[in-house]
Homo-oligomer: A and B are copies of this chain.
Amino acid sequence: MTQTGSTLSIHPAQRAGQAGDASLIALDWGTTSLRAYLFGANGEVLDTRASTAGIMNLPRPAVEGGFDAAFDAVVGGWLDGAPELPVVAAGMVGSAQGWKEAPYVNAPASADALVGGIVRVQTARGVTLNIVPGVLQNGDLPNVMRGEETQIFGALACAQPPAANEGVLVGLPGTHAKWVIVRNAKIERFHTFMTGEVFAALSEHTILGRTMVTPERPDTDAFLRGVKVARDKGQAGMLATIFSTRTLGLTGQLSREQQPDYLSGLLIGHELSGLETALAQQQSTLAGRALQLIGNEALCERYRLALAQFGCQQAVLVRQATERGLWRIAAQAGLVSALGAAQADTSASQKAT
């Protein structure tokens, strides 16, 4: 969408003169991108900007003021017109490699716990940046998130009331897909599946990629075939099933153009089989379950198709979870007036806190 280091106003027509009506600047600052939202007094998004200046992609090194440079390039214009605006940020900007580390809050984690863990850093232009911490679930297989916790609290506004004590299941497909159980308005437990990154590594750096040709449009049949193989024939595990991407090709049963979607289906199928097993340990299941998806729309649609193969027909895509979450945490932290927060976030507050 953007070039390295460039900024882009998504609503250029709204750009000028709006900072005066604004109440909050919020940043979704990840590893490879930085998105900024300018909120009005009632939580409405007045303007947005996007840049590729993620924390691993700063315009200059961090020790040479790279964070300040990226910050000024993206939101300096807004702040010029309204230097007193509060600023909140979530994502990898709070990691050990970020601007300032915001130590993880332990799961189960409420929105209040996130607010309590906010770490502040003073920018070169004298603005205070409020950094939301991530969440850590310790144990034999520790899990961490940074950024997703904010999206999840944003999405809760859209959650259907969960069945008694079942909790809300939220899926965040992507490079490192997360599946999260939220119960009593707390992030209780979650898993991380490295599905997206493993797909890229297998496609680009193993023998499986050598026979693949990217199709003009996604091949849903091939995708669903992979999902079903993982679900029904995947007992020996992913290390065993992925080789079929090649052998089905060798035996004339899968064209080169079908192989990428088949492999994608296999991996997502294994992810959902693994999730199903984890849910079963909690006497739960995917079948018939309502759940929420947060993320890239096309990818979430693939997950909806795959989830249907596990009997789950009620997966709802939640839009603007990031903006909603940033606004909500800022409101809960007192960075914006309680009135504006309440107006914009009534249903979320009532249902989820």
Contact = CB atoms under 8 A, between A and B. Distances in A.
A237 B271 CA distance: 7
A237 B237 contact: yes
B251 A136 contact: yes
A303 to B, nearest CB: 14
A135 B218 CA distance: 33
A191 interface: yes
A206 B197 contact: yes
A229 to B, nearest CB: 6
A53 interface: no
A238 interface: yes
Interface in A191-215: 191-195, 197-198, 200-202, 204-208
B206 A240 contact: no
Given A141-B233, A247-B143, A253-B142, A239 B198 contact: yes
Given A194-B206, A204-B205, A141 B247 contact: yes
Given A144-B250, A236-B277, A240-B278, 18 more contacts: A138-B251, A140-B229, A140-B233, A141-B233, A141-B243, A176-B243, A191-B240, A192-B240, A192-B247, A193-B236, A193-B237, A198-B202, A198-B206, A201-B202, A201-B205, A235-B274, A236-B275, A240-B274
Top-10 shortest CB links A-B:
A237-B274, A236-B274, A142-B247, A201-B201, A193-B239, A192-B243, A141-B244, A201-B205, A235-B277, A205-B205
